[in-house]
Amino acid sequence: MAVLELNEQNFEETILNNDFVIIDFWAPWCGPCQGFAPVYDETSDKYPNITFTKVNTQDEQGLAGHFQIRSIPTLMIFREHVIIYSQPGAMQASQLDDLIARASEVDMAQV
């Protein structure tokens, strides 16, 4: 599945219209972001029921500021419109798979 670029115009609609959204906050000048990008893109192909997105913090400073992004890359997960995960740092594919598995198991009735 293709990774969707988020901006201030499509952000809210994307979150409201999808039950499971992962956001990669990144920037073109960020070395760790560039290293993580292929892992993120390949992982998106394995999970067609999850919406994988990216926010270019250089271009979308309003979104980065709203979510208080201080380091990149930062991954954020929304389930049913609620942030259940937000953490900086690149991951290996196995770590991202584990994170997705844990996020999938969250009982949203308890959140």
Active site residues: 30, 33
Order of strands across the sheet with 20-26? 4-5, 51-56, 20-26, 74-79, 82-88
Q: What gap in Å lies between CA 61 and CA 7, rounded to an integer?
A: 10
Q: CA–CA distance from 34 to each of 18, 73, 111 (Å)? A: 26, 9, 33
Task: Provide the 8-state DSSP code for 68.
Answer: T
